[in-house]
Amino acid sequence: MGSSFDYYNLIEKCLLEVSLSDREKKDEAEYDVQNKVIKEIKGLAMCLSRFKPADWNKFLDVVIK
């Protein structure tokens, strides 16, 4: 990836299920974003929602706004 900003944007697009360009699809496959990063984020989200529900609710309030 060109920079950490590009990598961040790729992860963000994958999380939000935004259509990817051909180059982004190639990077997604190369870095295995779906299997490595997205699964880890979903796992962390699940733990946060189970063990710190108040923090999870605050996070969702921010995301929804």
Q: How many H-runs (helices) and E-runs (strands) does the chain carry?
A: 5, 0
Q: Give the Cα separation of 23 and 45 in Å (integer).
A: 28
0.75 cut: is pTM over it? no
Q: pLDDT tens digit string along 7-33?
A: 889 988 988 888 999 999 998 999 888
With H, G, I as helix, E, B as strand and everything else as coil, classify residue 21.
coil
CA 7, CA 55: separation in Å to the nearest integer? 26
Domain that includes residue 21, residue range: 4-64
Q: What pLDDT is attached to residue 1? A: 59
Q: Hey, CA dihedral for 39, 45, 47, 49, is it positive or negative? A: negative
* pLDDT exceeds cutoff 70 at 36: yes
What is the number of domains present in the chain? 1
